[in-house]
Structure 1
Amino acid sequence: MSFLTRILPSFLVSWLFTFTLASLFHSQYVVNQLVNVGVVVSFSDRVSLTLDDWLGLLPTYGAIIAIALAIAFLVTVQLNKKVKKYRTQLFVIAGIVAFAMVLIAIESIMNIHIIAGARGWGFYAQLLAGAAGGYVFSRLTKTNII
């Protein structure tokens, strides 16, 4: 019962935060690339594109992120039992590794960047979203026994 009342809500909040950041970073990277080639993008178009991307990416990229974070956090919980001193750092690293593995695996398997916002500096922005998600999960579960 502890899982359903403590861990799952914390995971869902951290996943939603992580996915929202990743989607936002993706959208703004794509818009920035358009601006770099001379396309004029208004603020309202940026907002509209960002919301459309969030909704469009949720069923696929959102699910992939949820699975990757779940695996990374489960491994980190086990590792944290042995190395308790660096709890927050371990979850931050887990978020980064989860995103790196997903993005590299997708590119290696499909030989394309399925997430356009994960090219160039966008790749590092996606890793930052993973780090933020790991940090949020660590803070939300700090009082829980995991």
Structure 2
Amino acid sequence: MQNKQPRFTKLSKFTRWFAIQFFPAWLVTFAFASLFHTLCVLVNLSALDVFIPWFTWLTTIVGDFIGLLPTYGVIIAVALCIAFGATITLIRWCQQSARPLSALPILLLFSLSGGVAIAVTLLAMQPIMNITLIAGSRGTLGFMLQSGAGVLGGALFGLRSIQKQNINY
């Protein structure tokens, strides 16, 4: 009698990858991007001598998280999928061409790809829609913070992929 593999092996492998690696990385990226956006906007308002009570700061942070989720959250997910997919391909190519990468370069590559994904996304939205959709990214600091959120998410993705070895590099 043969040992049959479960019918949904690929689905369960994808589900494990999604739950263990991608979703936490996306959540960290989106949560920090949303937080940085809100803080940049509120700090700029405060610089104009607008008084904002601390409770308003908290409710605005939560409200922006919920409000940005269906749009910016999805855009970030797509950008990270493309970036991480390209990075996985690059790492596999390096491993197959007798240039194996250790954990640190893999971590750095995923961190860089996360940051670049957010930066490219923000830069691409401007000419397409002729507005800066994420108000918190209008200044240099805001843009860097948004890209930094991508770096954090990419670093988490890299750490999880190194720890769990879910992707055969």
Counterparts of 1:106-145 in structure 2, within 5 Å, are 106-120=125-139, 121-142=141-162, 143-145=164-166
For residues 57-103 of structure 1, the C-alpha deviation after alignment (integer angstroms, 9 at most, x for no partner) is 00000000000001100000011113423100100110011001100
2:116 to 86, 89, 97: 97
CA distance in 2, matches of 1:48, 1:103: 25
Q: Structure 2: which 5+ runs fail to align?
A: 1-11, 95-100
Counterparts of 1:1-146 in structure 2, within 5 Å, are 1-5=12-16, 7-9=17-19, 10-83=21-94, 84-85=101-102, 86-120=105-139, 121-142=141-162, 143-146=164-167
CA distance in 1, matches of 2:116, 2:91: 16
Count of residue pairs the alignment pairs up: 145
| Residue identity opposite 1:8 in structure 2 | F
- Once superposed, what is the RMSD of the aligned Cα atoms? 1.0
CA offset at residue 48 of structure 1? 0.4
CA distance in 2, matches of 1:145, 1:45: 42
Runs of 4+ in 1 over 3 A off after TM superposition: none
Q: Structure 1: which 5+ runs fail to align?
A: none
For residues 83-135 of structure 1, the C-alpha deviation after alignment (integer angstroms, 9 at most, x for no partner) is 42310010011001100110000012112111001111100000000000000
**If the length of structure 2 is used for normalisation, what is the TM-score?**
0.83
Greater radius of gyration (CA) = 2
CA distance in 2, matches of 1:94, 1:54: 23
**If the length of structure 1 is used for normalisation, what is the TM-score?**
0.95
